[in-house]
Amino acid sequence: MLHSLSGRLLILTTVFVMIAEILIFVPSIARFREDYMLNRLERAQIASLALLADDMLDPALEDELLKNAGVFNVVLRRNEVRQLMLSSDMPQMISETFDLRDATALTLIRDAMRRMITREPQVIRVIGAPVRDAGSLIEITMETSPMRTAMIDYGMRILLLSAVISVITAVLLFVALRALLLKPIKRVVGHMQRYALAPEDARRIIEPSASITELREAEVALMTLQTDLTQALKQKERLAQLGSAVSKISHDLRNIMTSAQLFTDRIEMSEDPTVKRMAPKLVGSITRAVHLCESTLAFGKAEEPGPTLTMVALAGLLEDAVEGEKLASGEHAISYGVDIPAGMMVRADPEQLYRVISNLVRNARQALMGTKQGGEIAVLAQESETAWVIEVSDTGPGLPAKAKEHLFAPFQGGARKGGSGLGLAIAAELVKGHGGQLALAKTDAQGTMFRITLPKGDGTV
């Protein structure tokens, strides 16, 4: 009960209502004390009327009038003359005097609280204005014990009433909050629990129905989250199926390429100069294809191998990547330029870095071929004290907006029509495995540039 939201609401509501009643209790007690003393003044004034009617009163009658009024003596000031109207023996001296004619609310509250905590009986003087203008003032002396007893009795009745009101208010508020807040929250929690059992089932997505604005906003946010998650799970399932299919295809393709690799060994023995010149490149291409199939198989098993870092001569690697794309250019007027410092070495996995460069050069070639106007592709490499930098640029039309929004996200659409967007995603992942970064340096109507940054450090700070 105490650990539930409903139980805590019930307890807090009761406590807050009791605090409100206590804040009402203090001025109520002060008002009761004031009314009590004003009542004694009125009674004393009525008792004094008997003396005005008859100057001589029997002592027994005078004593009875004072007892009925609850006072010891009565002084009435009329026509600037102070007259002792009724009097009797007082048990002790007067302790304090209270003038009710000009008393402020704070003064009345202070005096009432002092009276509540003072247990010793005292005799006090009370001054007030007579009713019906029967004089300029009336003054009485009275004992405090009966007044304090009456104040305590009145206070206990107020506290009891406050407790009853607090409980009733708390119960009503609890019922209202349970209907307006707790039940809708439990309904949302129930939806979340049912959805968690089968998140791929779109029927379990919550439909906002709350009438309270804040709860409806929460339901709308939950519906959006569940919808996105369901779609993501479906996409994940499709990707898993695609990965399985790609792994099977790569397995068979690897066997085919392995057989082709055996045939290229025979080609290398040919005496034809052209064959001798092209055979090494063919062998290298088939070898890379075999390695790619093996890497794809490993990726399909969620075992993408990390890079094997060695110091690589960058010139030969880049020239191989560019040479392969030159052959694919065909008759298109595309020129290729490679600017690399002589003898430049980089620390990288040669196969993975070749895939990255080849992918970027291929994308640039396809962009230029799409314009049917040709252009230029340039590969630039340089190094600093902290990193090696390789830039691949073209003079194509630049990347479309959709491609820039999902540049390195797989299956989000490529830069050309029909593209899957896998190439850049794979390239970025491979560069990241080297501890580096693949970034889009610029893209506009004059062309596009990608920058590969490979750090020279070992990753320690």
Look up residue 312 and give its two tokens: 């690589």
Residue 53 — very low, low, confident or very high, per pLDDT cuts 50/70/90? low
Q: What per-residue confidence (pLDDT) applies to 418?
A: 42
Contact call for residues 122 and 143 (beta carbons, < 8 A): yes
Asked whether 306 and 433 are in contact (CB, 8 A), the reply is yes
On average, the pLDDT of the chain sits at 79
Q: Is residue 283 part of a domain?
A: no
CATH number, domain containing residue 415: 3.30.565.10
Structural domain that includes position 427: 308-455
Q: Please say which residue of 171, 201, 216 terminates a domain.
A: 171
The DSSP code for 124 is E
Give me the residues paired with residue 81 across strands: 78
Q: Where are the beta strands (DSSP E) in 87-122?
A: 94-99
- What is the total count of domains within the chain? 2
Q: Is there a domain that residue 422 lies in?
A: yes
Report the b/e string of 328-342 with b at 16+ CB within 10 A: ebeeeebebebebee
Residue 165 has pLDDT above 60, yes or no: yes
Please report whether residue 89 resides in a domain. Answer: yes
pLDDT value of position 387: 92
Which stretches of 395-459 are assigned E, i.e. beta strand?
Answer: 437-444, 447-455
What's the full length of the chain, in residues? Answer: 461
Q: Is the pLDDT score of 347 beyond 50?
A: yes
- Report the predicted TM-score, pTM, of the whole model to 2 decimal places: 0.43
The helices-and-strands tally (H runs, E runs) of the chain is 11, 12
156 lies in some domain = yes
Phi-psi region of 70 (alpha: psi -120 to 50; beta: other; left: phi over 0): left
CB 376 within 8 A of CB 394: yes
> Dmax over Cα atoms in the chain, in whole Å?
161
Q: Which of 121, 156, 171 is the last residue of a domain?
A: 171
pLDDT, tens only, 270-303 = 667 776 666 676 666 766 666 666 555 555 554 4
Identify whether 223 is part of a domain. Answer: no
Q: Checking DSSP bridges between strand 437-444 and strand 447-455, what pairing results, if any?
A: antiparallel
In a domain, 50, yes or no: yes
Q: Is 423 exposed, middle or buried (0-12, 13-18, 19+ CB in 10 A)?
A: buried
Flag whether 141 is in a domain: yes
**15 and 162 assigned to the same domain:** yes
Look at residues 171, 198, 215 and tell me which one is the last residue of a structural domain: 171
Q: Does residue 266 form part of some domain?
A: no
Q: Specify the pLDDT at position 346.
A: 93
